[in-house]
A and B are shown apart, each in its own frame.
Chain A
Amino acid sequence: MANTYKLIQTVTVSTGGAASVEFNSIPQTYTDLLILYSGRSTRAASGDDLYIRFNGLSTNLSSKVLYGTGSAATSFSDASIAYVGYFTGDTGTASVFSNGSIYIPNYTASVAKSISGDAVNENNATGATQLIHAGLWNSTAAINQINLYALNGNWKQYSSASLYGISKT
């Protein structure tokens, strides 16, 4: 049977929160990686951006983002940060956690890595946002570590993220 859509690791944030969610020692035996997360930021605002780094490095990253708030659609780009998601912030409705997915094709190939991110922070109130992201890590290195960060806060307790491996064989 094909070795695909296999759970590699799940991280659940414990008391006190976490500066990042980290997946390390990622096996090199799959074709693509998929991260599904449910998260909330400690930022004292209605929302917070989620960005990604690979192999412990903060260079050669960029992104473009498209988002809608229910009344308008906007786009922005960043030349040094790979935005891939969005959180409910800590002033959002209590107990609401955002969810999103991050897809990383060809993560072991000796080419630049292209990342697709989808997210929603439905807030059960005003201030909800839907987002799609294109990220790029311009490195030929295979990905063996992933860190996910909140831009202006930490991951709040009870957040969770799971890493899956998808294989074409």
Chain B
Amino acid sequence: MAATYEPIATQTLNSAVADVFFLTVPQTYTDLVLVMTGGCTINAGVGHRLNTINTQSYGGTFIEGNGTTATSSRVTSDTYMRVGWNATWSTTSVNNLISHFHNYSNTTTFKSVVTRINDLTNGATGLSVCTFRSTAAITSINVMTSNGTSFLVGSTFTLYGIKAE
């Protein structure tokens, strides 16, 4: 049986931290799925920094609905991948983000990440499609907040591997 949708690593926060790391991501899968639930101590966007690269290597396009209007926006260059734009994780509800990293281990193409964003209380439901302008294989993922605030205690982060065989 194919080894697919395998848990690679999981973290449940026992203390509030602003950065969650998945280091030494195995290169044996085809795609990755990162499931995040929880909130932040102060409203914040959520982003990824890949391979510890903090140069202007990330872009993204977003669409979201806040319950009243639908909006779309775009970031061409940033120092991290803003997977959740205006949709924020809040202190008053449990939210979730689900990021899909496609063909993450290839060394030929830039990497794309599709993220579903769900925040009922303060934000919106939305979708982001982001690019990491690097041909390097993704070997580490840093989940971070947009303003340096911390993720709440009890927030969970689980990385799964998907294999195309």
Contact = CB atoms under 8 A, between A and B. Distances in A.
A1 interface: yes
B64 to A, nearest CB: 6
Interface stretch (B22-30, B47-55, B121-129, B137-145): B121-129
B133 to A, nearest CB: 26
Contacts of A74: 65, 69-70
B86 interface: no
Interface string A100-119: 00010110010111111010
Interface string B66-77: 111110100000
Interface string B89-125: 0000111101000000000000000001111110011
A32 interface: yes
Interface of A: 1-2, 4-5, 31-32, 62-68, 73-77, 103, 105-106, 109, 111-116, 118, 132-136, 138, 166-169
Contact of B5 (A64, A65, A77, A166): A166
B157 to A, nearest CB: 10
Given A103-B98, A105-B96, A65 B65 contact: yes
A5 B4 contact: yes
Q: Is the interface of B mostly helix, strand, loop or mixed?
A: strand
B101 to A, nearest CB: 16
Nearest to A110: B154
B164 to A, nearest CB: 14
Contacts of A166: 5, 160
B35 interface: yes
Contacts of B95: 114, 134
Interface residues of B, number: 37
Nearest to A3: B7
B1 A1 contact: yes
Given A134-B118, A134-B119, A116 B98 contact: yes
Given A75-B69, A168-B7, A116 B116 contact: yes
Contact of A66 (B6, B10, B64): B64
B3 interface: yes
Q: Which of B65, B117, B156 has the most A CB atoms < 10 Å from its CB?
A: B65
B158 interface: yes
B7 A66 contact: no
Contacts of A67: 65
Contacts of A75: 64-70, 124-125
A118 B61 CA distance: 18
Interface in B31-72: 35, 37, 63-70, 72
